[in-house]
Structure 1
Amino acid sequence: MNCMKVFLFVLMATIFEAVGDAVIRIAIAAPRPHMRIGFYLLGTVLLALYGTSLNLAPVEFATVTGLYIATLFVVFQITNYVLLHTAPTLPVMVGGSLIVAGGLTVYLWK
């Protein structure tokens, strides 16, 4: 499978996971019961899509674990900033750069 297809697959899975998690966090803080239920349902669907996409992957997950972890860190930070208005701190950025470097090393080192 070519690298771009693998990356796009991993990116979609991490988006489902990160946004699903953020929506669940929004549901917990929702002020009204009907809003809470709606956010929980949306978060549940997104997390189900994440789990389904990983289990139906056309690639062995062990081979893309490094890429997945690196992508997951980046997508979680973007999601936290866009949906929850939380900017990453300097320690998160420094540690995250190590996560990304390590993830890419695991994925690219043949």
Structure 2
Amino acid sequence: MSFLNRLVENPMGALGVLTIAAFLEVWGDSFFQAGFYRSSGFARILMLLAGTAVLALYGSTVNVPRWDFGKLLGVYVALFFLAAQLLAKLRFGQSPTPSIYLGGAFIVTGGLVMAFWKA
């Protein structure tokens, strides 16, 4: 069994892989945001190509854990939300509003329930 397979068999390892995937997706999306709205000419082309490459890597990474698809993406959405808020602040200087904090609390709570509830 490969290291990656052993890693994702552990729930915390799978959560780590999903966290990496969330940051890859957010980072890839931020390249498109920068390409469409914050650059022009050759820099725009580079941003869009970088976004394409990073999103392809995300798509491969998010599917590594062998969880059922609904649970996988349910937990992933919570991690994606957290990564998006962090990158919005660091890369674009955008702070969450009270409504984002409240809605995000529901998203994160749902992700925790899906990840750790034993049926």
- Note whether the superposition's TM-score is higher than 0.5: yes
Does residue 81 in structure 1 map to residue 113 in structure 2?
no
1:72 is aligned, of 71, 75, 80, to 80
Q: Would the aligned equivalents of 1:14 and 1:68 in 2 still touch at CA under 8 Å? A: yes
Q: Would the aligned equivalents of 2:18 and 2:61 in 1 still touch at CA under 8 Å? A: no
State how many pairs are aligned.
Answer: 109
Name the residue aligned to 1:59.
66
- Supply the distance in 1 between the matched residues of 2:111 and 2:86 (Cα, whole angstroms): 18
Q: Tell me how large the CA RMSD over aligned residues is.
A: 1.4
Does residue 29 in structure 1 map to residue 20 in structure 2?
no
Deviation sequence 1:44-97 (CA, Å, 0-9, x none): 111111112234x14123333332111111001001111111111010001101
The CA deviation at 1:41 is 0.9
TM-score of the superposed pair, with normalisation by structure 2: 0.84
Deviation sequence 1:1-27 (CA, Å, 0-9, x none): 112211111011111111100110000
Which runs of 5 or more structure 1 residues have no equivalent in the other structure? none
Identity across aligned pairs (percent)?
A: 32
- Supply the distance in 2 between the matched residues of 1:31 and 1:64 (Cα, whole angstroms): 35
